[in-house]
Amino acid sequence: MADVGKCNDCETWHMGGPCPSHRWGTPEWHRANPIFWVDFKYKPDVLIEDIRSRLAHIRGEISDIGQGYPGWQEQLKSVEGALTCCLIALYEPMTEMKKVIT
């Protein structure tokens, strides 16, 4: 006889083991169990836009520290540049997500 079980998450019965929607490693499982508390009720472009906003804020803080402590400014410029690269790299996927989802 096939293994039949009720999923604890979606309350439906499934043949052959765990619920396919809640199996570890599936996108559904990751949305239900985010490691870093991503709020998946928002669309992905909104989530990426929020990350870009936080990165821009951190980049500004690093700039302020460099200007406040000029002896470290030159070393911090490369960190600012790396964050700028991250912001640029996230822009295209974000705009593609907006086109596809809206």
Model confidence pLDDT, tens digit, residues 57-82: 999 999 999 999 999 999 999 999 99
At 88, list the tokens: 């640029």
Domain ranges of the chain: 1-33, 39-102
Yes or no: say if 45 and 94 are a contact pair by the CB < 8 Å rule: yes
At 33, list the tokens: 């169990």
| pLDDT at position 11 | 66
Q: Give the pTM.
A: 0.73
CA angle 57, 96, 87 (to 5 degrees): 20
- H/E element holding 81? helix 70-101
